[in-house]
Structure 1
């Protein structure tokens, strides 16, 4: 077994941070729901697509350390580690933001992982070579296949659709999902993952 994990919106949750940064810039009304999609939809509805693009660069870059992991992520990954389940993060993101101040988004994501204890001996104890950030979706899929991942967790159905049939597909959908392939596993909470990969 080799368990592959997506990063953005799977391990790390940005909803509150998108809302916070947009409020700081007075780009959204205070009563906008604390939800990434709600912030995006509001900015698009008022013709501020460039501000949405700029906001993504800030949240994924200079402010990423303010984002939180999804509930249960660290405990679940610790349990999997203790059960000797090999794991890799395989994600895709651009190297720099499309708009705004230059920032290495890959380095920012790695800094967040370090802050959360992924590399500490008293934390998860991962090595640097367990983390892969690719530039495109196709490069991401190629890396998953090349590594030999037997299971893969992602919040994007389109990514799971691109994976070969032999990979067990696990859709992270905290709000539920419908209309997905019948052989996919739907994971609403992180503490459900050990059972999905066969741990009691």
Structure 2
């Protein structure tokens, strides 16, 4: 059995990092809630889409070291390893940001996985796929024959090209999305473990 995982906002939690970067750069007041979505919404409401794009390049690139794994995700991988379940990471991630400096986003993502010990939890380096387009990401999920795929974006799971035989799991820690047909919605990695592996305790 192979479970596929998205990377950004699924394995990696960026909320506090985006807020810190935006405040440091004078892009938002400190009173804006410390979530990625709140920072994005504030900048877009101010007509500063370019600033938002450049901020993403910094957060996903040189400052990713200041981000953190989602609580419970490392424990989830440990449970998969114990249960003999293989894990692959499949992300839609361009090599460089759309705007701003040409940071190597692929190298930054791989370093994050290394720095946080994911390769010591059964994740193989040759099972990490950073695909430049969404179409290539979905094709990779299909080619790997994942039993399930966990993603934070409902629109990805709703894509017509999403592989038909792969179980769709929406990672929704903010409880921001309603129920959707043929989608298992989880609000934590503990719940994801209960849904996909034998019910066992995962750190919250």
| TM-score interval for Structure 1 and Structure 2 normalised by the shorter chain | over 0.9
Question: 1:20 & 1:94 partners in 2: Cα distance?
Answer: 24
Question: 2:92 & 2:171 partners in 1: Cα distance?
Answer: 16
1:141 corresponds to = 138
Aligned length: 197
Note closer, same or farther for the CA distance 1:79–1:198 as it changes in structure 2 (3 Å cut). closer
Given that residues 27 and 43 in structure 1 are in contact (C-alpha distance below 8 angstroms), is that contact kept between their aligned partners in structure 2? yes
The secondary structure found in structure 1 opposite 2:156 is: helix
Given that residues 141 and 163 in structure 2 are in contact (C-alpha distance below 8 angstroms), is that contact kept between their aligned partners in structure 1? no
> Matches of residues 12-161 of structure 1 in structure 2 within 5 Å?
12-119=12-119, 123-161=120-158
Given that residues 171 and 187 in structure 2 are in contact (C-alpha distance below 8 angstroms), is that contact kept between their aligned partners in structure 1? yes
Given that residues 157 and 180 in structure 1 are in contact (C-alpha distance below 8 angstroms), is that contact kept between their aligned partners in structure 2? no
Measured after TM superposition, the shift of residue 195 of structure 1 is 2.1
> What's the TM-score once normalised by structure 2's chain length?
0.92
Question: 1:161 & 1:81 partners in 2: Cα distance?
Answer: 29
Given that residues 44 and 52 in structure 2 are in contact (C-alpha distance below 8 angstroms), is that contact kept between their aligned partners in structure 1? yes
> Is residue 2:193 matched to residue 1:194?
yes
Given that residues 2 and 86 in structure 1 are in contact (C-alpha distance below 8 angstroms), is that contact kept between their aligned partners in structure 2? yes
Q: Which runs of 5+ in 2 are unaligned?
A: 200-204
Q: Which runs of 5+ in 1 are unaligned?
A: none
Given that residues 86 and 123 in structure 2 are in contact (C-alpha distance below 8 angstroms), is that contact kept between their aligned partners in structure 1? no
Q: CA RMSD in A?
A: 1.3
Measured after TM superposition, the shift of residue 198 of structure 1 is 4.0
Give a deviation string over 1:46-100, Cα, whole Å, max 9, x none: 2221111110100000100110011111111111111110110011111101222
Question: 2:47 & 2:14 partners in 1: Cα distance?
Answer: 22
1:168 corresponds to = 167
Question: 1:112 & 1:22 partners in 2: Cα distance?
Answer: 21
Note closer, same or farther for the CA distance 1:111–1:178 as it changes in structure 2 (3 Å cut). closer
Give a deviation string over 1:13-58, Cα, whole Å, max 9, x none: 1111000011111111110000111111111222221111110100
Where has structure 1 moved over 3 Å in runs of 4 or more? 177-180
Question: 2:174 & 2:148 partners in 1: Cα distance?
Answer: 21
Given that residues 78 and 122 in structure 2 are in contact (C-alpha distance below 8 angstroms), is that contact kept between their aligned partners in structure 1? no
> What's the TM-score once normalised by structure 1's chain length?
0.94
